[in-house]
A = this chain, B = another copy of it.
């Protein structure tokens, strides 16, 4: 897969990013707007999530129905959702329809109606999503873990709370949209079957007159951390834990990714072997790396029947710790191959590429080529990983348990 990158910044600050991919027909867009749930004012938690729903209920010349019809008629698959730091708008369509979809997307961003009729259904959906969390303890466990692990409000549950949603008024959300929908910190990435010049022309037509303003970053409070057990009469104990890591822009990032891959990448990884294959303790166990702009962590999740929860937790934490005792060359070779193969395979998906471009720009202010990533992975040594683990030792975990009982964490 050849890599042809393009970047351009409009005078109002909007960053345009592109990658042309040969031999595909599709093109995917990823637009990040600095309007994530971390920007929700106190008392209106969930506003960003409501905004993401509400924006597509009529915009510019389209009412709700016309907007959906227009996107459907272009064969566009789209998704709008609030994350911690951004609202993300993503679309996938054939390359030949890209500019038309972009035009509609710009109406959603710049001229959403946000009329009263659409507000209650939009808020109702977020309330539904909050309720659905109760029936998905695995997802809830990870949402609550993030909330306690990251400094508030960065890890906040994007759906807010029942009380904040119930008291939320139209104007609360309108104020958020006015304040945070701004080009200067927004990133629009496109990948696939694109004509970069035509795309830039369309983006300028759509966005050049979008007035810029600065969004003040939220001031994070110290993370809560500690241990939380949410009692629930569930069949399994859901076990989640997190420890701090380095951010995506840190030079030690690749060492962190290699450590996670040795631990949890593939069927021969340590966690899989020790927890799943040898002991049959759990069906799912994994450690994942996650990074915000200024904070990052290693997030581990497993679910086991209550009788095996303590053993599952002990073996899992034991494997996290054991990384510091050394890593074999064969493990390094496997981890390298896995990371690089996964990169190449993800590189074949236009939507994965559009997301990666936007993410690179947000975290690094530049784009990374496949070769740069591959070389950086090859360059990581065992000593690099051990040094990373000395800087970010797997301890001082934030623990989150959902289930009839919580395993004992003493000594962990």
Chain B residue, CB-CB nearest to A93: B341
Cβ-based interface call for A129 (8 A) = yes
Residues facing B in A123-154 (CB within 8 A) are: 123-125, 128-129, 131-138
Cβ-based interface call for A217 (8 A) = no
What is the minimal beta-carbon distance from A348 to any residue of chain B, in angstroms?
Answer: 5
What is the minimal beta-carbon distance from A57 to any residue of chain B, in angstroms?
Answer: 7
What is the minimal beta-carbon distance from A294 to any residue of chain B, in angstroms?
Answer: 31
Cβ–Cβ < 8 Å partners of A266 in chain B:
68, 71-72, 77
Give Cα A277–Cα B348 distance, bound, in whole angstroms. Answer: 34
Cβ–Cβ < 8 Å partners of A342 in chain B:
75, 77
Chain B residue, CB-CB nearest to A278: B121
Cβ-based interface call for A279 (8 A) = yes
What is the minimal beta-carbon distance from A203 to any residue of chain B, in angstroms?
Answer: 22
Of the candidates B22, B23, B267, the one whose C-beta lies within 8 Å of that of A78 is B267
Q: Number of A residues whose C-beta is below 8 Å from B?
A: 78
Contact A267–B305 (Cβ < 8 Å) = no
Contact A334–B92 (Cβ < 8 Å) = no
Cβ-based interface call for A74 (8 A) = yes
Residues facing B in A339-360 (CB within 8 A) are: 340-342, 344-345, 347-350
Known A93-B341, A121-B279, A233-B233: A72·B267 in contact at CB below 8 Å: yes
Cβ–Cβ < 8 Å partners of A77 in chain B:
266, 341-342, 345
Cβ-based interface call for A26 (8 A) = yes
Contact A277–B57 (Cβ < 8 Å) = yes
Contact B280–A125 (Cβ < 8 Å) = yes
Cβ-based interface call for A235 (8 A) = yes
Cβ-based interface call for A4 (8 A) = no
What is the minimal beta-carbon distance from A127 to any residue of chain B, in angstroms?
Answer: 8
Cβ–Cβ < 8 Å partners of A68 in chain B:
266-268, 272-273, 277
Contact B125–A234 (Cβ < 8 Å) = no
Q: Mark A260-285, 1 if CB is under 8 A from B, else 0.
A: 00000111110011001111111110
Chain B residue, CB-CB nearest to A334: B72
Given contacts A73-B334, A123-B280, 10 further A-B contacts (CB under 8 A): A68-B272, A77-B345, A94-B341, A121-B280, A128-B283, A131-B236, A132-B235, A132-B236, A135-B138, A135-B235
